[in-house]
Amino acid sequence: MERGGRAFHARILRREVLERGTLKYEAMTGLPDRLRESLSRDLPVLGLVELARSPSKDGTCKLLLGLAEGEGSKAQSIETVHIPPLSRKAQSGATLCVSTQVGCPVGCPFCASGKAGLVRNLRADEILEQYLHGRALGAIARSVVMGIGEPLLNFDALLAALTIVHKEMGIGARKITVSSVGFPERVRRAALARPPFQLAISLHTAFDEERAALVPAMAKTPIEEVLSAGDFWFETTGREVTYEVVLLAGLNDTLQHAEELGRRLAGRRATVNLIPFNPVVDGDFQRPEGQRVDEFRELVENAGVVARVRWSRGLESDAACGQLRLRN
């Protein structure tokens, strides 16, 4: 360690930041005064800077975090969302939703994050730091990697960050869910690494042509190949895949859609999460009525598939994924 620090000082520093959530050098009393002064003068604890905060009435808080970019390159930002439990009894801490890329190459038409394409992958430290910023808003019990980006296209950095989140920040592997559009070879590679997370695959529809429009980067990948990669994930890790469907009114929420989804998933070790779309002001897509969502769920369950409805929280402006970043 430069500045006269010793190797064990680096271990103290790491423990303070990752295990105890100390983000100020002056509070790290296990370090010598001179070292703390020198570090606080020219090495910020966190590299990501909070640029904006967008709180919702239900307690959900979205952070816009600025990334330090190299000389000459434009400063970029990402979003992280802190979602406190609905009741104190239900859960011991919040859920944190994190991003893995700046922008996204997948291009789903209902998502603000994909509108400008991919800028770059986040580094492992940039993924990890979102947890440190998030924890400063309140204890984190679970995490969903469902923010900006396609996580499995940045798997090495994701795995490095989540290994630390799991081992040093103490978030259980069953409490971390990574949501991907399910590139088959990426799902298989991830399964073989036995990573510390659960897998969710955003299917959105069980019809191939329609999926090509809703998940453009998967246009050439038949749904059956995605499902077979999901089966491989289960066989390899022993953890069931959750298939997610963002329900868009009048588009993929018909009863035929529900029946086809049930038919495709019947007999597989998987569950379905139905997520009524989180409407964006002036957007092209709408959220279905509650009754339609219930009918959809019942039809999927009639095929013997467990289905749950997940209503999004934080419906005020900028709540949809990528909105805040786009506005800035």
Q: Which is nearer to ligand SF4, 149 or 230 (CB)?
A: 149
- Measured from each CB, the residue nearest to ligand SF4 is 114
Q: Which is nearer to ligand SF4, 148 or 187 (CB)?
A: 148
Q: How far is the CB of 256 from ligand SF4 (least distance, A)?
A: 23
Catalytic residue among 16, 61, 79, 104: 79
CB 234 within 8 A of CB 270: yes
Q: Which is nearer to ligand SF4, 60 or 113 (CB)?
A: 113
Q: How far is the CB of 317 from ligand SF4 (least distance, A)?
A: 18
Q: Which x/- pattern over 177-196 shows residues binding ligand SF4 (rule: CB under 6 A)?
A: ----x---------------
Contact residues for 266 (Cβ-Cβ < 8 A; gap 6+):
303, 304, 305
Q: How far is the CB of 283 from ligand SF4 (least distance, A)?
A: 13
Maximum Cα interatomic distance, the chain, rounded to a whole number of Å: 69
Q: Using the rule CB under 6 A, is 114 a contact of ligand SF4? A: yes
Q: Which x/- pattern over 303-322 shows residues binding ligand SF4 (rule: CB under 6 A)?
A: ------------------x-
Q: Which is nearer to ligand SF4, 31 or 152 (CB)?
A: 152
CB 299 within 8 A of CB 272: no
Instruction: Please pick, from the candidates 5, 84, 107, 288, the single residue that binds ligand SF4 as defined by CB under 6 A.
Output: 107
Alpha helices by DSSP H, the chain:
7-14, 33-42, 124-135, 155-167, 184-192, 208-214, 223-237, 255-265, 290-302, 323-327
Q: What is the DSSP secondary-structure string of 264-308?
A: HHTTSSEEEEEEE----TT-S--PPPHHHHHHHHHHHHHTT-EEE
Burial label, 94 (beta-carbon count in 10 A; 0-12, 13-18, 19+): buried
Catalytic residue among 97, 104, 108, 321: 321
State how far the Cα of 249 lies from the Cα of 93, in Å rounded to an integer: 33
Active site residue 79: yes
As given in the structure block, the two tokens for residue 244 are 């997610």
Q: Using the rule CB under 6 A, is 251 a contact of ligand SF4? A: no
As given in the structure block, the two tokens for residue 262 are 């049930």
CB 171 within 8 A of CB 141: yes
Instruction: Please pick, from the candidates 63, 67, 98, 104, the single residue that binds ligand SF4 as defined by CB under 6 A.
Output: 104
Q: Which is nearer to ligand SF4, 54 or 202 (CB)?
A: 202
Give the count of residues interacting with ligand SF4 (CB under 6 A): 12
Q: Which is nearer to ligand SF4, 28 or 97 (CB)?
A: 97
State how far the Cα of 21 lies from the Cα of 96, in Å rounded to an integer: 15
CB 256 within 8 A of CB 263: no
By CB under 6 A, the residues from 120 to 159 that bind ligand SF4 are 148-150
CA separation, residue 120 to residues 25, 126, 175, 326 (Å): 31, 12, 27, 16
Active site residue 2: no
Instruction: Please pick, from the candidates 13, 63, 106, 157, the single residue that binds ligand SF4 as defined by CB under 6 A.
Output: 106
Q: How far is the CB of 311 from ligand SF4 (least distance, A)?
A: 17
Q: How far is the CB of 325 from ligand SF4 (least distance, A)?
A: 11
Instruction: Please pick, from the candidates 39, 63, 98, 111, the single residue that binds ligand SF4 as defined by CB under 6 A.
Output: 111
State how far the Cα of 67 lies from the Cα of 257, in Å rounded to an integer: 41
Chain residues binding ligand SF4 by CB under 6 A are 104, 106-108, 111, 113-114, 148-150, 181, 321
